Structure 1
Amino acid sequence: MMATFKQLWRSHKLLVLAFLVALTVTCFFATRFVASSIYWADPAHRDVQIEGWMTPGYVARSYRVSPRVVETALGLDGFAGRGRTMADIAESQGKSLEVIRADVVAAAIAARLLGSAPR
């Protein structure tokens, strides 16, 4: 096997390097996918109370609704909430975190009742 690898390396260095890069990228995304799946499969991460450190994307995953539902409840459009915390959004809108929390939870419940939760 090692002789075969050495022969491949000598005759096709670029191809071997491309394969190793592709393998590394695949392993990275596979690890990320598995870690994310394990994290979100844990019932302790579902319907958690909204805290100031959470992002709209995290809240959407926790409540199992579309990110669009959370963005609409927060009055954001598109990428305006990306990377911002709930505390930052509340502060920029001049609202308390409790008001933001109530708006998002109400929107999430309504979305679930209407069946617009992601599958």
Structure 2
Amino acid sequence: MTNMNDTNLLIGLLDPGYSGGHGFDNLHFRTDIEGTTVTDLTLTDLGTAISYFDDNVLDYGLWKDLISTDNVLDITFYFDLTEQHLGEGFNTNFIVGASVVPVPAAVWLFGSGLIGLISLAKRKKA
């Protein structure tokens, strides 16, 4: 991994599943990072929940902006499911990782154009 200062914290939501006819009555999903709530979502529809948790990546920005002074990153997931019928349920998988922040294409394009202008100016002087 590269320097912590240029990597983003990513949480992947993967492969949701359910049992029974409708999965749940109420689903509350919350993520806290260092004691601050960064995601707070309540769902009552199975289709919406499956869409949200199916291969969705939550990007919380740079590690350096999130990690505490003790160099420990505390992430807490709350997954609260309310259901009144026997045999109903919902599940999903999580993966946490880091990704290098990509340099936007516009920066590369601007840089190559600037180099081209500088080389053109040098040719005119010569």
TM-score, with length taken from structure 1: 0.25
Q: Which structure dedicates a bigger proportion of its chain to strand?
A: 2
Q: Which structure dedicates a bigger proportion of its chain to helix?
A: 1
User: Which structure exhibits the higher relative contact order, with contacts defined as CA atoms closer than 8 Å and separated by 6 or more residues?
Assistant: 2
TM-score, with length taken from structure 2: 0.24
